[in-house]
Chains A and B, each alone.
Chain A
Amino acid sequence: MIHTEEMFKVFAQYRGNAIVIPGRGGRHWHTITDQPSRDVPLGDPAMGGHGSFGLGFALARPNEKVILFDSEGDILMNMGALPTIAEKAPPNFYHFMLDNEVYATTGGQPVPNAKNIAYDVIAKGSGYPYTFSFDNLEDFTNNIEAILNAPGPVFVALKVHPEVENVPIGQRIRWNPRTRDKVIEDLQAAIGPRK
């Protein structure tokens, strides 16, 4: 399994000026990124929607590279998004998935059939032309540059260590210094109007 923070440190070297939607990895990414105005840490507007949000944004901005870090719990809630993404086939969309096998924010309960689902196979079967699966940092490091230099859509499943939160929601420390509205405002200022 991969430590999410270490993965992001490797990824950061190849990010370029891509738009990054960090998903549930946001708590690590925000300490690593050097382009926060091109990051989209939305938190959790509603579970299951990040893949579709990433698709919509990538279609609206075909000249921007869009990199999403989704989660397996979210994908399980909306697996039907994968065929839609594959059908529209945005070449600028890179769909990573952090699979920690649990619902970490609710205390670490296992997701259904956590150890036996091959999400890269599901993505491939849904029509993604390029899919990968990594469970160690070395293989990820050796492949990330080539993955990001090739056209999308790409699906990359990453087995990561769970970081379970058992603290009551009202006592959790908020890691994101910006509100959702401010994140969108900063992003839109950074990318300018749509042509």
Chain B
Amino acid sequence: MTISRREMIQQTAAAAAALPLVRALPPLAPVPPKFFTAAEFALVDEMSDMIIPTDQQSAGARAAGCATYIDARLAEAFEKDEPQHWRAGIKAVEALSQEMHGKPFMASTPDQRLALLTRIAVAESDPKTDAEKFFRQIKGATIRAYYTSKIGIHDDQQYKGNVIQPGDYAGYDAT
């Protein structure tokens, strides 16, 4: 990913974040996804941003390009089970959305999406259904992508390390 593309995602996301979150945001993939369909990408992008949203401290998973990163890894995955698990998981989420709200995930209201995500997150420690397993999968991938991103490391965590300490080292003496 080039810097300019990353910045573009950030700027787009910052603009989006400024809007009240009452309607579905358009998919923000700047280029066609490599593995996901456009619809799948929109769902992954939205759900990752619900898992790690923008708050007062920092922008969220969408701005950090988490879905784009996940898509790129799945597109080149050596083990083909993993991408297929994602695809099956998304199908399970869509089926649950139909069951709960009678429409696709991205066509439902923010409240309805939140209701769905809450439902599949309940069994996080011991997921049973495909949709519940998908929550674990997308949450893990979002965590990995977000906290290794520029936004995650610098804006959110405000990480102080990976710097040269020319003088005294930071910390406390063993006295």
A binds B: no
Q: List A residues at the B interface (Cβ < 8 Å).
A: none
